Amino acid sequence: MPVGAKPRARRLVRVLIIDDSAFVRRTLRTLLLSSRDIEVVGTAVDGNEGLAAVERHDPDVITLDLEMPRLDGFAFLRILMRRRPTPVIVVSSHSDKQTVLRALELGALDFVAKPEKSVSPNLKQIRGELVDKVLAGAGSLVEQLRRRLDTTREIMALREEDLAPSAQRRVATAATGLVVVGASTGGPSSLRRLLGRLPYNLPSGIVVAQHMPARFTRAFAERLDREFPHSVREAEHGGLIRGGDVIIAPGGCHTEVQPCAKGFETTVAPSEPGERYIPSVDRLFSSAADTAGSRVVALILTGMGSDGAMGVQYVKIHGGRTLAEDESTAVVFGMPRVAIATGSVEAVLPLDAIAPRVVSLVNPSH
């Protein structure tokens, strides 16, 4: 740096807090300001104030309560994503599974637990998750997320027209191979779009490790099962994997696959204290490689962190195929970037190109 030159000021992530609880607003402000990379540029008590504050402050990221007077979080999201797409982190109680999932479908990027008024031993964990997700959100491609949600609805409408009711579900046979998927921040919308383009009658079973807390994954699986012709369920210990099944790893646990008399089955094991990624993409991918070898296709989708990087290397060594989502469509390019850097990803594709490649890999004759 030239003598006398001033150091360039660090660009802080600008956050707007929207919540009708004064306690929550104060607590979130304190937690966020504990990071030297974040500044809180404003607060609002409902969606109407929030929309005005967005115009006034131009935040990089918004934290959003869902249950508010006048204009609630859902209406706010619909208007925001239409007018001025901005990364949104929902702050909600863990009891609100369905409402949180609905918010993710409307364009929210991720969610964290709401701080409680009583002294909570989980406050440090909430602080860590909140800061990490806000920082990741600041670099996300939220406009891509909005477009993805719009076109997913179009794909689903077309597929419902193409599928006769009697053909929408079939009696599946044991899977002949495995498609394993890892995702984190931005993953729920990516998975919905991926399923919108994948046939429901693949010969391979699909097992998904989506970073999500316990109790949310079952509700997530149930929503996908209602929405798509695929058979979608949460993984169970000893559950048979059939062709075309979509199996979601339970939050708070690790899901792996192993051989069984009829082909492949899932195993579910508790997580250990201090583990960062739960459910672990690395553990799912590695177990799939051990179990199915060259009959594995591993996908790394949007997400922050490095989970899956070791797993794709393991899949590659065992003769499986490895794909990662391209930066042009990944809402958060963290997980794909780290996986690609290992040199073990054979193809980097935009999200809409992944499903056709998967079909060609599990159906080589097509």
Residue-range domains of the chain with CATH = 13-140 (3.40.50.2300), 163-362 (3.40.50.180)
**Residue 166: per-residue pLDDT:** 38
Give the chain's residues under pLDDT 70.
1-9, 94-95, 118-121, 145-172, 364-366
Q: Which of 77, 98, 72 is nearest to 87 (CA)?
A: 77
Instruction: Supply the residues annotated as catalytic.
Output: 184, 211, 307
92 - beta bridge partners? 113
At residue 365, the pLDDT reads 58
SS3 of the chain: CCCCCCCCCCCCEEEEEECCCHHHHHHHHHHHHCCCCEEEEEEECCHHHHHHHHHHHCCCEEEECCCCCCCCHHHHHHHHHHHCCCCEEEEECCCCHHHHHHHHHCCCCEEEECCCCCCCCCHHHHHHHHHHHHHHHHCCCHHHHHHHHHHHHHHHHHHHHHCCHHHCCCCCCECCEEEEEEECCCHHHHHHHHHHHCCCCCCEEEEEEECCCCCHHHHHHHHHHHHCCCCEEECCCCEECECCCEEECCCCEEEEEEEECCEEEEEEEECCCCCCCCCCHHHHHHHHHHHHHHHEEEEECCCCCCCCHHHHHHHHHCCCEEEEECCCCCCCCHHHHHHHHCCCCCEEECHHHHHHHHHHHHCCCC
Spatial CB neighbours of 363, under 8 Å, sequence gap ≥ 6: 202, 203
pLDDT at 172: 65
Q: Can you give the pLDDT at residue 165?
A: 41
CA 345 to centroid of chain Cα atoms? 20
From the list 212, 80, 62, 84, the residue with the least C-alpha distance to 134 is 62
- Per-residue pLDDT tens digits for 49-97: 999 999 999 999 999 999 998 899 999 999 999 899 999 999 987 557 8
